[in-house]
Amino acid sequence: MTVERPDHSQVMLSAIQPTNRITLGNYLGAIRNWVKLQAQYQCYFFAVDLHAITVRQDPKQLLEDTYTAIATYLASGINPDECVLFVQSHVAAHSQLAWVLNCFSYMGELNRMTQYKDKSSKSGKNIPVGLFTYPALMAADILLYDTNLVPVGADQKQHIELTRDIALRMNSVYGDDTFVTPEPFIAPSGARVMDLQNPTKKMSKSAENEKGSLFLMDSPKQMQKKIKSSVTDSGSEVTYDDNKPGVKNLIDLQVALTGRTASEVVADYQGKMYGHLKADTADIIVSELEPLQKKVLQYLDDRGELQRILTKGAGAAAEKAAETLKRVYDRIGFVGL
């Protein structure tokens, strides 16, 4: 029997903003797929603290949230011996390439970004410039590592398309092999987990109503309560239907966590009320997250080990990033040393 061995010639990369608490959406839309795919690729996973400061952060909280993000990656099963695991601000090339890409991004295209529109509408009169140029930094994150695949939730697709546009634009000026053009990977389930209180909006770390978001470190009781009080509708029949976004979201959560199809899940609830669907969904979520929480806390308890992993990751990431940055600088016509 031949065993297929990956050659690791393809690169997979992804990241999460260490702002507030990581949600079930971040886990299902991103981290879980990183874990599933990691063995097939050369992987880079990191916490984007430079992106986080596009909105005001409390310094102590940002520090804790960054460690927690890394601990969550590890607890979910990311292997630090196989993958490069790091913090964005440890690799200066991210900021350096971001400047270059800023000069090749257009106001019009940045203005069209949904995440910018959402976040700037909450910023009042003084919208930080970083919020506007955020996608150029994200493009730098991706392009520095000659990335082929970027596993993300559906909301990040637009940023990856923009990354491709910027890469192709620069390739047409400086040569086709300046940048590798990345593809998004959006999983068939879990790519758009909706807010429990407002199921037509995506679940978010910074939702106004905390009851709408399930955080990975919520206690089992909090999770049960949030699912129980999730908004459904005035009906009672469990069907998978766009007109029942709250019920659909709960079914989607079961699909993402169990691997069953939506119709299989629906079949379980014939003649049963929404309460049954809610109770089972909560149980499935708790049984997935409880063991994960224990591991996150264990990793957080050993800061020395986290620091060791991050130091190693920063070294490996910086090495690769410096090569790409040099290639770009040379092509642009910057004097080398």
Measured from the CB atom, the residue of 202 and 278 that comes closer to ligand TYM is 202
Please choose, from the candidates 185, 173, 279, 216, the residue with its C-alpha nearest in 3D space to the C-alpha of residue 22: 216
- Catalytic one among 36, 60, 157, 202? 202
Question: Could you tell me the smallest distance in angstroms from the CB atom of residue 307 to ligand TYM?
Answer: 22
Annotate 147-181 with DSSP letters as a single string. Answer: -SEEE--GGGHHHHHHHHHHHHHHHHHH-TTSSPP
Measured from the CB atom, the residue of 150 and 306 that comes closer to ligand TYM is 150
Partner residues linked to 12 by β-bridges:
43, 149
User: Which residue, chain included where needed, has tokens 């031949």?
Assistant: 2
Decide: 227 and 277 in contact? Cβ < 8 Å.
no
Compute the distance between CA of residue 178 and CA of residue 181 in angstroms, rounded to an integer.
Answer: 10
Compute the distance between CA of residue 96 and CA of residue 145 in angstroms, rounded to an integer.
Answer: 14
Decide: 324 and 144 in contact? Cβ < 8 Å.
yes
Looking at 186-261, list the stretches that DSSP marks H as alpha helix, in order from N- to C-terminal side: 220-228, 245-258
The DSSP letter of residue 230 is: -
Partner residues linked to 42 by β-bridges:
11
Measured from the CB atom, the residue of 141 and 218 that comes closer to ligand TYM is 141
Measured from the CB atom, the residue of 195 and 280 that comes closer to ligand TYM is 195
Q: Which residue is nearest to ligand TYM (CB)?
A: 29
Please choose, from the candidates 151, 142, 204, the residue with its C-alpha nearest in 3D space to the C-alpha of residue 30: 151
- Catalytic one among 157, 205, 295, 312? 205
Compute the distance between CA of residue 73 and CA of residue 31 in angstroms, rounded to an integer.
Answer: 7
* Two structure tokens written together for 216: 């990975």
- Catalytic one among 36, 60, 117, 119? 119
Question: Could you tell me the smallest distance in angstroms from the CB atom of residue 42 to ligand TYM?
Answer: 15
Decide: 179 and 164 in contact? Cβ < 8 Å.
no
Active site residue 202: yes
Measured from the CB atom, the residue of 253 and 282 that comes closer to ligand TYM is 253
Measured from the CB atom, the residue of 45 and 269 that comes closer to ligand TYM is 45
Question: Could you tell me the smallest distance in angstroms from the CB atom of residue 270 to ligand TYM?
Answer: 28
Looking at the chain, list the stretches that DSSP marks H as alpha helix, in order from N- to C-terminal side: 24-26, 32-37, 49-52, 59-76, 93-102, 107-111, 114-121, 129-143, 157-174, 220-228, 245-258, 262-267, 274-301, 303-332
Question: Could you tell me the smallest distance in angstroms from the CB atom of residue 246 to ligand TYM?
Answer: 14
Question: Could you tell me the smallest distance in angstroms from the CB atom of residue 193 to ligand TYM?
Answer: 4
Contact residues for ligand TYM (CB under 6 A)? 13-17, 25-26, 28-30, 48, 51, 138, 141-142, 150, 152-153, 155-156, 159, 191-193, 202-203
Please choose, from the candidates 165, 111, 138, 159, the residue with its C-alpha nearest in 3D space to the C-alpha of residue 17: 138
Measured from the CB atom, the residue of 194 and 300 that comes closer to ligand TYM is 194
Question: Could you tell me the smallest distance in angstroms from the CB atom of residue 322 to ligand TYM?
Answer: 18
Active site residue 119: yes
146 HSE (CA, 13 A, CB side): 18
Question: Could you tell me the smallest distance in angstroms from the CB atom of residue 236 to ligand TYM?
Answer: 26
Q: Which residues are catalytic?
A: 119, 202, 205
